[in-house]
Structure 1
Amino acid sequence: MSAVDETGTDRREAPPGTTAVPLLSASGVRVSFPGRRGAAAARAVDGVDLDIGAGEIVALVGESGCGKTSLARTLLGLVRPEAGRVCFGGAPLALDSRALKAYRKRVQLVLQDPSGSLNPRHTVYEAVSEGLRIHGCEGGEREAVAEALARAGLRPPERFFLRYPHELSGGQRQRVVIAGALALRPELIVADEPVASLDASVRGEILALLLRLRDELGLSALVVTHDLGLAWNIADRVAVMYLGRIVETGTVEEVLTHPQHPYTQAMLSVLPETAVAPVVLSGEPPDPSRVPPGCRFHPRCQVLASGAADAAGVGGRCRTEDLPVLAGDSTAAVACHWALSAGAAPGGGLDGGRADPPET
């Protein structure tokens, strides 16, 4: 039997003693969108490396407009990168319609707004079975729909078959969306703000569901969020994104208990559970059509504004010297002249303190 599947991906396991091939990886990915009336193009994704291993949950964290959704859409094959490449199982992702259809059976998207994701005129059964009909269902369709709903926590599944979205709670609608993805038995899901529209009482249930699916099915996930508390509760690894670049990456414990980049520290400081003083960023929100020279965070950087970077002898580099693209693997890394210099506070806090784990 061939080890190469319908998408052209080599599924053979890595030889003993070698590093396993990431399930999904981006290498040097760049995506731009043209500006209006001759304006400069918006550099939504400006050189990103990112790996997701089998059974791994990676949180892609950043504020609105940082490029995280554009990166997620590129990883799904919905946006063609102008540079770099996306690989699945070690093989470059082909962008022709046949290859993408096979690929999307194995990589599914879960959107943040279940009300907008579900057709109000379709029953739960029709919503979950839609993907099965598009891709062709091997075996009984009814059994596959029932299994997906049960795995998503809607039991007994037959009770929900003929219900419409308006008859469900917000948490139940999100479970239907997740069931629609699970029906195709994907290897990876991309969840874009999966609990942002849900009540606090339901958020924990959906996060627990995603963790259970990882444990039971070996499912990998890329969770796109602005919420560091969510990342702490669900992710194995965190990648912090700012203005089209990943500026800090590492395990969730490394990044969220000892943040090195001033942007990560600022995001973490506003959570009520952290033991550091809140940081209020000044300056204009980042504009992807006007990426500044040097460190792209320097116009808003609290360390540079306080004079600490100049005192450490790196202020000039912060303003003029670009930083390299961080590796996409599990190695902890930061793209910050100050953090990489002797002037960085031990432990990553502005006052050298340790940030306690956030909670949701």
Structure 2
Amino acid sequence: MTGVAAPLLSATGVRVAFPGRRNTGEARAVDGVDLDIGNGEIVALVGESGCGKTTLARTLLGLVRPTSGTVRFGGRPLDYGSRGLKAYRKHVQLVLQDPSGSLNPRHTVYDAVAEGLRIHGHRGDEHTAVAEALALAGLRPPERFFLRYPHQLSGGQRQRVVIAGALVLRPELIVADEPVASLDASVRGEILALLLDLRDELGLSALVVTHDLGLAWNIADRVAVMYLGRIVETGPVEQVLTAPRHPYTRALLSVLPESEGSPVVLTGEPPDPSRIPGGCRFHARCHVLASGEAETAGVADRCRTEDLPVLPGSGSARVACHWARP
């Protein structure tokens, strides 16, 4: 009997807390997360601004050290020493949201892409490696772009240069933080198609951080919905986005243009991460609880007082909700 393949990158019980202001508790930006990313898998991490998804992504990159819990790559815990992190970043690369801010305006395209090779002391042919990375990112012929500066490129071309800079080290996984948020609608589809092609051609894995569930639908194999530092629903993208079970996921989906029915407008802002409420952390804004449906189902008191377990990092669709659970 063949065992299940080990994940490429995994987080187990990850918690990240930052010191609070005077007379306040610590801010729990990530408050117990399990998340796995398999070989050749694209996982979308979605949620509102401030839910902790960017902090979690930075933790998976080794840019933030978790307060507790473990991040593993290839089955081994991350080494947070300078040499260990430098070696790790050959395998895992970041693609930032704003290509204009990511690229040094004084560097040519060639220098921008070659920077990673120079930092890591690449001993091969730099010219060939840069050309191959640009070609993989869809900038062909690559030599045509070598001496251009960022201001001479379109927004889509700049984002492709950023992606080429990540690809030049031939990583196994990229973390893309809102990779198309700053691009025109006509260009977004091209960049998403590029990421899918890279997965198919290179076996590249990706964690895509986004607030856009439509983007998750178009690109991801699996989706993890995050709220106030925890993943509240996770599973295969078709299952979660066509049959959402958590009230928060339903609310996020209800405002998409193609959604049927009236949009669910969440009241108020997410709670302060230094004052996370007891019980389900979504209960203060939950329309199911406010409407009386949770009371009818006999779980209203549990919603207000009983905490929910951390969801597993992979597997079938799971939800952290007293009302939605069988």
Do the two structures share a fold, i.e. TM-score over 0.5?
yes
CA RMSD of aligned residues (A): 0.8
Q: Does 1:75 align with 2:64?
A: no
Q: Percent identity?
A: 81
One-letter identity of the residue aligned with 1:78? L
In structure 1, distance between residues paired with 2:143 and 2:272 = 49
TM-score (norm 1): 0.89
Partner secondary structure for residue 37 of structure 1: coil
User: Structure 1 regions of 5+ residues with no counterpart?
Assistant: 1-15, 342-360
Q: For 1:161, which of 128, 146, 165 is the aligned residue?
A: 146
Deviation at 1:36, TM superposition (A): 2.1
Q: For 1:194, which of 169, 176, 179 is the aligned residue?
A: 179
Task: Give deviations 1:21-70, integer Å, cap 9, x for gaps.
Answer: 10000000000111222422110000000000000000000000000000
In structure 1, distance between residues paired with 2:117 and 2:62 = 20
In structure 2, distance between residues paired with 1:105 and 1:59 = 22
Partner secondary structure for residue 33 of structure 2: strand
In structure 1, distance between residues paired with 2:227 and 2:264 = 16
Q: Does 1:147 align with 2:132?
A: yes
| 4+ aligned runs moved over 4 Å, structure 1 | none
Aligned to 1:276: 261
Deviation at 1:86, TM superposition (A): 0.2
Q: Give runs of aligned pairs for residues 188-227 of structure 1, distance below 5 A.
A: 188-227=173-212
Aligned to 1:125: 110
TM-score (norm 2): 0.99
Task: Give deviations 1:107-133, integer Å, cap 9, x for gaps.
Answer: 000000001100011110000000000
Deviation at 1:285, TM superposition (A): 2.7
In structure 2, distance between residues paired with 1:255 and 1:276 = 18
One-letter identity of the residue aligned with 2:104? N
Q: Give runs of aligned pairs for residues 341-356 of structure 1, distance below 5 A.
A: 341=326
In structure 2, distance between residues paired with 1:172 and 1:283 = 39
Partner secondary structure for residue 22 of structure 2: helix
Work out whether residues 91 and 173 of structure 2, in 8 Å CA contact, stay in contact via their aligned partners in 1. yes
In structure 1, distance between residues paired with 2:182 and 2:315 = 30
Q: Give runs of aligned pairs for residues 13-32 of structure 1, distance below 5 A.
A: 17-32=2-17
Work out whether residues 237 and 330 of structure 1, in 8 Å CA contact, stay in contact via their aligned partners in 2. no
In structure 2, distance between residues paired with 1:283 and 1:114 = 33
Q: Does 1:313 align with 2:306?
A: no
In structure 1, distance between residues paired with 2:216 and 2:272 = 25
Aligned to 1:298: 283
Aligned to 1:353: none
Deviation at 1:91, TM superposition (A): 0.9
Aligned length: 326
Work out whether residues 59 and 222 of structure 1, in 8 Å CA contact, stay in contact via their aligned partners in 2. yes
One-letter identity of the residue aligned with 1:120? P
One-letter identity of the residue aligned with 1:293? G
Deviation at 1:102, TM superposition (A): 0.5
Q: For 2:309, which of 305, 324, 327 is the aligned residue?
A: 324
User: Structure 2 regions of 5+ residues with no counterpart?
Assistant: none
In structure 1, distance between residues paired with 2:31 and 2:301 = 23
Work out whether residues 65 and 286 of structure 1, in 8 Å CA contact, stay in contact via their aligned partners in 2. no
In structure 2, distance between residues paired with 1:161 and 1:135 = 21
Aligned to 2:231: 246
Q: Which sits farther off after the overlay, 306-315 or 37-46? A: 37-46
Deviation at 1:265, TM superposition (A): 0.1
In structure 2, distance between residues paired with 1:317 and 1:25 = 30
Deviation at 1:275, TM superposition (A): 1.7
